[in-house]
């Protein structure tokens, strides 16, 4: 059994005039140690699907299971805190915290001591190529690529087994995009994480273990 299993999930919401069926009957089983690229045109349901997998929204029908447990029966705040990390296009770092504090924060939320959380933060910042000279800087003092590397270090420090990324290279130049792609691959293949990436970046899609294509809220094909 995979770490994350979506079973016939659908999600609908009402706009001012119509009901939007954003995800329709999506089923797939995601495994640790692989990177998945979810591709499709804007409005195809990719980001909505990612929100469902992250526990930020509940499906209108169908079930999502994490490690064999139905998310609808789990504490979603606890699920997101302990099991899931989301990497966003706009980095989502705390603007008033320095780099070290940004990375150590999730570990402290999980109940680790400040000393242990800071130790983890330093270890993983080094792992993404951000040494001590960066640790006291706030996000506004970093380039886009550096901020995204901080975000990835934060996912490592959190210990999450499920990494969800929404257009993680969308705001980056080619060089930094390639660096982030390589880090996402490392998360899957060396750290054994399940990495699911919503992307328009063809380079991510080409390097993914599995490509999932969505159209009008439905999974239309996948490449193994």
Nearest partner of 166 among 214, 207, 198, 195, judged by Cα: 198
Angle at the Cα of 66 from the Cα atoms of 160 and 218, rounded to 5 degrees: 110
pTM passes above 0.75: yes
Quick one: how far is CA 169 from the chain centroid?
12
Helix axes 114-127, 144-158, angle to 10 degrees: 130
Task: Kindly give the confidence (pLDDT) of every residue in the chain, 224 residues in length, as a single tens digit, with 9 standing for 90 and above.
Answer: 689 999 999 999 888 788 889 999 999 999 999 999 999 998 899 999 999 999 999 999 999 999 999 999 999 999 998 999 999 888 899 999 999 999 999 889 888 899 999 999 999 999 899 999 999 999 999 999 999 999 999 988 888 999 999 999 888 888 888 889 999 999 999 999 999 999 988 888 899 999 999 999 999 976 54
Residues 6+ apart with CB under 8 A from 96: 138
Nearest to 109 by CA among 76, 78, 136: 78
**149 and 180 Cβ atoms separated by less than 8 Å:** yes
């Amino acid at each position: 059994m995979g770490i994350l299993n979506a079973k016939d999930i659908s999600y609908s919401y009402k706009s001012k005039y119509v009901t939007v069926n954003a995800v329709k009957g999506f089923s797939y089983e995601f495994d640790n140690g692989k990177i998945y690229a979810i591709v499709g045109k804007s409005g195809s349901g990719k980001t909505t699907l990612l929100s469902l997998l992250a526990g930020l929204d509940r499906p209108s029908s169908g079930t999502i299971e994490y490690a064999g447990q139905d998310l609808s029966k789990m504490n979603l705040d606890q699920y997101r805190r302990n099991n899931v990390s989301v990497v966003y296009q706009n980095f989502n770092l705390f603007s008033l915290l320095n780099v070290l504090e940004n990375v150590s924060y999730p570990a402290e939320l999980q109940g680790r001591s400040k000393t242990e959380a800071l130790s983890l933060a330093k270890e993983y910042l080094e792992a993404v190529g951000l040494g001590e000279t960066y640790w006291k800087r706030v996000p506004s003092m970093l380039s886009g690529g550096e901020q995204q590397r901080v975000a990835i270090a934060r996912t490592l420090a959190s210990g999450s087994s499920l990494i969800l990324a929404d257009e993680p290279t969308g705001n980056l130049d080619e060089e930094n995009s390639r660096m982030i792609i390589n880090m996402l691959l490392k998360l899957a293949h060396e750290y054994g994480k399940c990495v699911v990436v919503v992307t328009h970046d063809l380079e991510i899609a080409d390097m993914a273990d599995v490509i999932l294509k969505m159209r009008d809220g439905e999974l239309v094909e996948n490449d193994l």
